Amino acid sequence: MRKLMINETFLDTEADSYMTRRETNAVVIHHTGTLEDADVSADEIDCTHKGLGWTGIGYHYVIRKDGTIERGRPHSAIGAHAYGRNSDTIGIALSGNFELTEPTPQQIESTALLTAHLTYRYEIPIDATHILGHRDINATACPGRNLGRMLPTIIGKAIWYQEH
């Protein structure tokens, strides 16, 4: 499998302030949904989420428009991204508003590669039951219609990455 490069963000987090995820059964894909389709960073999302009174960024990973993968919430922590499924999922957010625009090809490739690594690590099947859009869990438009329709492509690419 191709090597995965993750930019460590060293967000100001207290490791003790997060509960540890005991099981990992699915990956949930999000978009940041900013009004102006901004290419927001994990650090910017962390500041926004802390401003809402959260412990920190709710997503485990953020994928920027150039395909860069940034670490968000500590990998082993329970997320704050999909109500009712935070305790057994990993959250990946792609920067952008995919109700308005398309994800970049770099974002799709990085999402597929990260998904391949996560599903391998946690022995999660790579299928539409285990690789979900946020809207598959909660009443929301997230991950946006343009990213949502690309989830089968991400799943197919993730399978290919695991095999190669």
Helices 105-122 and 151-163 pack at an angle, to 10 degrees, of: 60
Residue 131 φ/ψ, nearest 5 degrees: -115, 105
105-129 per-position pLDDT tens digit: 999 999 999 999 999 999 999 999 9
pTM of the model as a whole: 0.96
User: What does the alpha-carbon distance between residue 102 and residue 15 come to, in Å, rounded to a whole number?
Assistant: 35
DSSP state of 88: G
**pLDDT at 82 > cutoff 90:** yes
Q: What is the pLDDT of residue 15?
A: 59
**Burial bucket for residue 94 (CB in 10 Å: 0-12, 13-18, 19+):** buried
User: What does the alpha-carbon distance between residue 38 and residue 35 come to, in Å, rounded to a whole number?
Assistant: 8
DSSP state of 101: S
Q: What is the pLDDT of residue 154?
A: 98
Q: What is the pLDDT of residue 75?
A: 86
Residue 138 φ/ψ, nearest 5 degrees: -125, 160
Residue 93 φ/ψ, nearest 5 degrees: -110, 130
HSE-up (13 A, CA, CB side) for residue 87: 3
130-159 per-position pLDDT tens digit: 999 999 999 999 999 999 999 999 999 999
Neighbours of 24 (CB within 10 A): 18
DSSP state of 51: H
23-73 per-position pLDDT tens digit: 999 999 999 999 889 999 999 999 999 999 988 999 999 999 999 999 999
